[in-house]
Amino acid sequence: MGIRIYIGNLPKGFNPKEFDSVLKSLEAEIRFKPVLDKETKECRGFGFATANNEKSANCLIEKLNGFEFQGSKLRVEKSEKKDSASNKRNAVNNKNNKRKNIKKIVHSDAPNLQSPDPRWAGELSKLKDLLANQKTPA
């Protein structure tokens, strides 16, 4: 499998075949795929290229990073795998998530007739007191 390279800051109305010709002039075996908007089918401003080896990937990054293409300076860098990025995010969230060890009270659908739901126990006793103290006209 090749090395994926992120290419960002692409102009919206660019022609992918034109950009392919720029890539082919730099390195012979580079495949490029722009990321398109689902509705408009226009480029979302970035895409991914695949290089066959590390040397051609590094060469492409050196030559294209900061390269001006149709009025936009391109941002080119090695792409991270989606899994590794989400794993890093989850690791950070787990460190910051202090609620993880808190016991949560889960409401069950089958009522327990012997003891009221602990979330409403205080309110229930107040209601019982109000009903006991309520005077009905005779």
Helix (H, G, I), strand (E, B) or coil at 11: coil
* Residue 55 in domain: yes
Band of the pLDDT at 81, cuts 50, 70, 90? confident
Band of the pLDDT at 94, cuts 50, 70, 90? low
What is the count of structural domains for the chain?
Answer: 1
| pLDDT of res. 13 | 79
* Residue 59 in domain: yes
Return all residues near 66 (Cβ < 8 A) that are at least 6 apart: 73, 74
* Residue 56 in domain: yes
Amino acid at residue number 133: N
- The pLDDT of residue 12 is above 60: yes
Mean pLDDT, range 113-125, rounded to an integer: 71
- The pLDDT of residue 128 is above 80: yes
* Residue 65 in domain: yes
For residue 75, give Cα distances in angstroms to 20, 68, 71. Answer: 16, 10, 13
* Residue 93 in domain: no
Q: What is the mean pLDDT of the chain?
A: 78
pTM here is 0.56
Percent of residues in the chain assigned helix, strand, coil, to nearest 5 = 40, 20, 40
Say which DSSP state 99 is in: G
Which structural domain, as residue segments, surrounds residue 59? Answer: 3-80
* Residue 20 in domain: yes
| pLDDT of res. 11 | 85
Write the CATH number for 36.
Answer: 3.30.70.330
| pLDDT of res. 77 | 93
What pLDDT, in 10s, does the model give residues 32-75?
899 988 998 888 889 999 888 888 888 889 988 998 888 889 99
Contacts 24+ apart (CB under 8 A), 68-74: 69/10, 69/11, 69/14, 69/19, 69/22, 70/11, 70/14, 71/11, 72/9, 72/10, 72/11, 73/9, 74/7, 74/8, 74/9, 74/10
More confident residue, 128 or 136: 128
* Residue 41 in domain: yes
For residue 16, give Cα distances in angstroms to 3, 46, 62, 74, 93. Answer: 20, 11, 21, 14, 38
